[in-house]
Amino acid sequence: MIAMSDRAGAPDSLDLNRVRADFPILRQTVHGKPLCFLDSAASAQKPQVVIDTVSKLYETGYANIHRGIYKLSQDATEAYEGVREQVRDLINAEHAKECIFLRGATEGINLVAQSWGRAFLREGDEIILTEIEHHSNIVPWQMLRDEKGLQIKVAPVGDDGALDMDAFAALLSPRTRLVAMVHVSNAIGTIMPVEKIIELAHAAGAKVLIDGCQAVPHMPVDVRALDADFYVFSGHKIYGPTGIGVLYGKAELLDAMPPWQGGGDMISTVTFEKTTYNELPQKFEAGTPNIAGGIGLGAAIDYVRSIGFEAIAGHETALLDYATEKLRGISQLRIIGTAPEKGAILSFVVDDIHPHDIGTILDREGVAVRTGHHCAQPAMERFGVTATVRASFAIYNDFNDVDRLVAAIRKALEIFE
Ligand code: PMP
């Protein structure tokens, strides 16, 4: 029997019943219990409209893009390029060509490291990261550091997981060429003060890359208002398909950067003596792209915008507040990450019970959470743990999901104590 929340009927500007009905996966049971999905920070579930858009494309509209003279190809090209305009509008980029389609955020960061970093960074140059970055915003810079003799400096977070702004500012120097920072931490939920960071970094003459994986699905992002030089996100976290993501870069930066991968589409002319390169965005999009993924991402963006970020943020913040209060009521539980500004992500440890054991018991209750280091081992080390249990919320979660999480944790405690 699922406990009904005291908040289940709370007024809410988001039509939760309708939203939940849009996600067919939520209708299934897991180990005999209705699925309670609390792992959207890893990857979000897909609304019917995204599933339908992708299958309809394959049924009636599929062909390779950019090259075909025939109608099917031209229509698919138009649909795919239309999504680039949707992305431009979503993040308020100035030009659609500044939005490069790639596999995801990981590929976007690697592109910046390998293209911009290799071309413009020199021995002794410094890159500032933070203690709570995802591995995808650490490892590409280490690879570049080892190749070019760079220095990586790490800005610390306080015990609550908020960035230590004084320590960050003290790391900036005339040698700082890049600040690469998460917008919202996937591991502990901290929302970084990226606007201020970008201002300080620019004043020091550095460029800024923001990893927006956990921001774009949950809040309005305006790359021009932020004045971000580079901004990356993955489609699968904003209810779109896997294998599609976006690197935004200011046109003058992308124009000056050498191509990264070579192949079809990214060229203008090829002879064995010399190749000339295509313009943006194709210069960075070698090979047949994820056509269906891109078009599916367009459906996801439309879907999210039809709900609206105000309603989304209001709902998810209410879930976070409710869940935080409920988890604080469990004395054996320690929340990791209590910054004043947080996304709807709750990381925690329970006594000395291994997070994987908690996760396994939760799974038996139909509650899907992530356990482990969340691809952020340095963040775990900062808080003296090797792993946490992480519950992350999305538009389709309700207060009943929180109650089920809490009940399942209490059950785990009974089993282990
Ligand atoms: N950065 C953050 C903050 C993330 O949450 C993730 C995904 N967990 C990534 C980067 C990497 O994204 P992807 O695997 O889609 O490239």
Both 379 and 402 in a single domain? yes
Both 116 and 144 in a single domain? yes
Say whether pLDDT at 10 is over 70: no
Q: Note the maximum CA span of the chain.
A: 72
Q: Residue 94 contacts by C-beta under 8 Å, 6 or more apart in sequence?
A: 88, 224, 251
CA-wise closest residue to 30 among 22, 21, 39, 42:
39
Mean pLDDT confidence for 74-96: 98
Identify the pLDDT of residue 7.
42
Choice among 36, 99, 213, 375 that is catalytic = 375
Residue after which a domain boundary falls, among 289, 305, 321? 305
- For 322-346, what is each residue's pLDDT tens digit? 999 999 999 999 999 999 999 999 9
Identify the pLDDT of residue 13.
79
- For 120-173, what is each residue's pLDDT tens digit? 999 999 999 999 999 999 999 999 999 999 999 999 999 999 999 999 999 999
Both 23 and 139 in a single domain? no
The protein residue with its alpha carbon nearest to ligand 1, atom 12, reads 105
Both 301 and 386 in a single domain? no
Residue after which a domain boundary falls, among 270, 305, 340? 305
b or e along 208-229 (b: 16 or more beta carbons within 10 Å of the residue's beta carbon)? Answer: bbbbbbbbbbbbbbebeebebb
State the pLDDT confidence band at 3, using cuts at 50, 70 and 90: very low
Q: Could you identify the residue written with the tokens 């970008």?
A: 198
Both 320 and 203 in a single domain? no
- For 93, the token pair is 């980029």
Q: Does a structural domain hold residue 316?
A: yes
Mean pLDDT confidence for 5-14: 51
- For 201, the token pair is 């970094």
Mutate to test the pocket of ligand 1, among 40, 130, 133, 136 (most ligand atoms within 8 A of CB): 136
d(CA 207, CA 193): 16
CATH number at residue 248: 3.40.640.10
d(CA 29, CA 27): 7
Measured in angstroms, how far is the CA atom of residue 397 from the centroid of ligand 1? 21
Identify the pLDDT of residue 148.
98
Q: Does a structural domain hold residue 343?
A: yes
| Type of residue found at 304 | V
Both 193 and 250 in a single domain? yes
Both 328 and 267 in a single domain? no
Mean pLDDT confidence for 182-189: 98
* Alpha-carbon 265 to chain mean position: 27
Both 138 and 262 in a single domain? yes
**Mean pLDDT, the chain, whole residue set:** 96
Q: Could you identify the residue written with the tokens 């946490």?
A: 388
The pair phi, psi for residue 94, each rounded to 5°, is -75, -45
Ligand 1 atom with the smallest distance to the CA of 236 is 15
Say whether pLDDT at 393 is over 80: yes
Measured in angstroms, how far is the CA atom of residue 213 from the centroid of ligand 1? 6
Q: Does a structural domain hold residue 1?
A: no
Both 90 and 12 in a single domain? no
> Known catalytic residue: 375?
yes
Q: Are 330 and 353 in contact (CB under 8 A)?
A: no
Mean pLDDT confidence for 184-191: 98
> Where in the sequence is the domain holding 107, given as residue range(s)?
51-305
Both 388 and 270 in a single domain? no
- For 96-129, what is each residue's pLDDT tens digit? 999 999 999 999 999 999 999 999 999 999 999 9
CA-wise closest residue to 358 among 290, 308, 412, 401:
412
CA-wise closest residue to 188 among 342, 302, 61, 28:
342
The protein residue with its alpha carbon nearest to ligand 1, atom 6, reads 213
Say whether pLDDT at 5 is over 80: no
Quote the percentage of the chain above a pLDDT of 90: 95
Measured in angstroms, how far is the CA atom of residue 266 from the centroid of ligand 1? 26
Distance between start and end Cα atoms, the chain:
23
State the pLDDT confidence band at 6, using cuts at 50, 70 and 90: very low
3-class SS letters over the chain = CCCCCCCCCCCCCCCHHHHHHCCHHHHCEECCEECEECECCCCCCCCHHHHHHHHHHHHHHCCCCCCCCCHHHHHHHHHHHHHHHHHHHHHCCCCHHHEEEECCHHHHHHHHHHHHHHHHCCCCCEEEEECCCCHHHCHHHHHHHHHHCCEEEEECECCCCCECHHHHHHHCCCCEEEEEEECECCCCCEECCHHHHHHHHHHCCCEEEEECCCCCCCCCCCHHHHCCCEEEEEHHHHCCCCCCEEEEECHHHHHHCCCCCCCCCCEEEECCCCEEECCCCHHHCCCCCCHHHHHHHHHHHHHHHHHCHHHHHHHHHHHHHHHHHHHHCCCCEEEECCCCCECCEEEEEECCECHHHHHHHHHHCCEECEEECCCCHHHHHHCCCCCEEEEECCCCCCHHHHHHHHHHHHHHHHHHC
Mutate to test the pocket of ligand 1, among 40, 234, 247 (most ligand atoms within 8 A of CB): 234
Q: Does a structural domain hold residue 142?
A: yes
State the pLDDT confidence band at 68, using cuts at 50, 70 and 90: confident
Both 204 and 316 in a single domain? no
Measured in angstroms, how far is the CA atom of residue 388 from the centroid of ligand 1? 17
State the pLDDT confidence band at 78, using cuts at 50, 70 and 90: very high
Ligand 1 atom with the smallest distance to the CA of 104 is 16
Residue after which a domain boundary falls, among 287, 305, 323? 305
Show the ligand 1 pocket: residues with CB < 6 angstroms: 41-42, 104-106, 134, 136, 182, 186, 211, 213-214, 234, 245, 375
Measured in angstroms, how far is the CA atom of residue 329 from the centroid of ligand 1? 31
Both 150 and 251 in a single domain? yes
CATH number at residue 384: 3.90.1150.10
State the pLDDT confidence band at 417, using cuts at 50, 70 and 90: confident
Ligand 1 atom with the smallest distance to the CA of 41 is 5
Q: Does a structural domain hold residue 407?
A: yes
Q: Does a structural domain hold residue 40?
A: yes
* Overall domain count for the chain: 2
Q: Does a structural domain hold residue 229?
A: yes
